[in-house]
Chains A and B, each alone.
Chain A
Amino acid sequence: MGIMFQLLWFLFLLTFFFIYPYFGQRTQLAFVLRYIEKRLAILKQVRDEVRDRTISTIKTYIEGGKDSSSIEKELDNLMEFFYIAPESMDPSGIVYKLEHILEIGDSRFEESVARMAPRADVHRVKTLTNLVEVARALNLIYRVVRHYYLLGRRTANYFLALQIQIQLPMIMELAESYRQASYAFLKGLPIGDGIGVLSAARFVRESKKISETEIAKDTWLDVVEFEGRKVFVVRPIGPGGTVGRPGEAVRKLVYEMDTNPDLIITIDAALKLEGEETGKIAEGVGVAIGGPGIDKFKIETLAKEKGVPLYAIVIYQSIIEAITPMRENILKSADTVVNRVKELIRDKVPSNGTAIVAGIGNTIGVGL
């Protein structure tokens, strides 16, 4: 009896050691795939919800009697729209190639939205374009997660599935941000990212205005006098959703309008670290501009060439707060930012000197 038991125990251990490594991983894979499946279903739901919301919003701007099915088809085409990054084997001039490609893409989006919603005014078209971009981003997220899920399942590759599982909490947070962002773009509400623009606008309103003009596409220039100094304030034109071309505007100011700034200040929203307070303001050096880096590159290049100091003021917030309706804490920080800008100008720019202040961000819901 004792020998029988020992034999059985030996067989069990033998089976366990040789078979478990295979079946153990299969079991773990099943758990991981189940985890991804659930979130993939939520991503699909969020994508469809934003798509439907976008279509119903655009429909309110079509002319009476127009067939709305063409809108759905056009929107689905835009949701699959892609950008091909320029070749980087020879990186010389890549920034301007990227700028060219992005400008073509932006125009294509705006033209399509203007055609779909002929009754929308120019600002509304820009806001609706943002809404379509949100729908496109959610579609891309869903497609990528689905790709890894199906690939992991088809190849029964635990590590492939694990990689996407590790990133899913952040991906879900991003998707939720986009979902809430669609609400802001639907209603034309200011978003957290617009705090830089709002601060620049408040600075203009508190100074003596000399002149104003559209300096670059979707970008407004106010020339103001502040305590004997001449300040050029650059910001996107609202209240439609756009970020303008701050880099191009500053380049024109320096090279075409022969401005010799003593200081360039950029004001932008920045992503806070976990545990940090929303609306916290910090000051540093460099160019505070996110996105693909074209505007940042242009300002850095001219500043180096002309020897202009670059200062940046950032307002911390989370990714969700940056693209969803502006929180009270963020709005309240605008006055403090304006005071910091004034202090910097007093401190770094001599009397009768010149400064450039650039308000960076999406100007949705913020007028001129």
Chain B
Amino acid sequence: MQENVKGFGQEGALARARIVQFNPITQLKCKSCSAIHTRPHKDGDYIFNSVEEKCPNCGGTSHLIIGIYVEDQKQPKPK
């Protein structure tokens, strides 16, 4: 069965299938001064996880992850 459709227009199709790149952003809240700042997402980040990172505002070391998101982007049109 698979052989029946193999090869038909595949080369062109492969070129058209676009890769969507996500650049997830992690939103952190400093536990000392409540300042909110963002940085690129790291593996293991999840919302409501506490992480040890230096606060650029007060120098505090403990943060709570309050959001992870990707910026709104235009979706490719369905083919």
Contacts and interface: CB of A to CB of B under 8 A. Distances in A.
Q: Do A and B bind each other?
A: yes
Contacts of A140: none
Given A38-B12, A40-B5, A41-B5, A368 B48 contact: yes
A46 B17 contact: yes
Contacts of B43: 187-188
A238 interface: yes
A331 B69 contact: yes
B47 A172 contact: no
Interface in A303-360: 318, 320, 324-331, 334
A176 B47 CA distance: 26
Interface string B1-33: 100110011101110110010101001000000
B47 A41 contact: no
A149 B6 CA distance: 13
Interface string A54-73: 00000000000000000000
A152 interface: no
Interface residues of B, number: 33
Contact of A37 (B9, B16, B67): B9
A167 to B, nearest CB: 11
A176 B70 contact: no
Contacts of A149: 5
Contacts of B14: 41, 45
Contacts of A37: 5, 8-9
Contact of A328 (B1, B46, B72, B75): B72
Contact of B70 (A39, A170, A188, A326): A326
B49 A239 contact: yes
Contacts of A326: 68-70
Contact of B9 (A41, A173, A366): A41
Nearest to B21: A183
A150 interface: yes
A190 B8 contact: no
A325 B41 CA distance: 12
Contacts of B71: 327-328
9 contacts: A37-B9, A42-B79, A45-B13, A176-B76, A176-B78, A238-B46, A320-B75, A325-B22, A367-B49
Which 10 pairs across A and B sit closest by C-beta, in order of nearness?
A: A239-B46, A41-B13, A367-B48, A173-B78, A41-B10, A37-B8, A331-B69, A325-B70, A42-B13, A366-B47
